[in-house]
Structure 1
């Protein structure tokens, strides 16, 4: 994979608040918009059990894994592990890869 380049991953109009799986450079990504309309790109692989985040849903600004409900922010940090309770501290290493994302020329681009 050619790293450290901006890649056009999807047409802007196809990226909505519903998580979308995108395959590029033999890797799976999930793209979505937060309620403020900003597009984001994460690895499409939950760090817990490898579930596809693209099969999940949005809870405010967070994407929720469909397998066990882990929630991730747009920077990839896990903010909630439901089995541990809402007040439990989430380990800092519980995160997915996040990629800088911009919209230009009718595409959503990610720096991979």
Structure 2
């Protein structure tokens, strides 16, 4: 089983708490990631928001990434509807969604559709 953490923590020693239903990751006593626990061999739980810094450097990697493939279906729909071939802009949108939340973004898209 493999779980992602924010790319800023790659190569650093982090503390892991494993529970029956979730896995928590801490760095310097601060929670940096949380995943639902997965069971099975060679399975991955990847959160796209953990790779934003990496994707900024290599935006062309986004379309074929496991991070996009495992992303919230609503994010995938936004990408494939509005941002195909506009990876840099989509990565900026992901950063904004991290601040305001997916629901506010979906509401804004719906308002724009009505206009």
TM-score by length of 2: 0.30
Going by fraction, where is strand more abundant, 1 or 2? 1
**For the pair shown, which has the larger CA radius of gyration, 1 or 2?**
2
Q: Counting helix residues as a fraction of each chain, which structure ranks higher?
A: 2
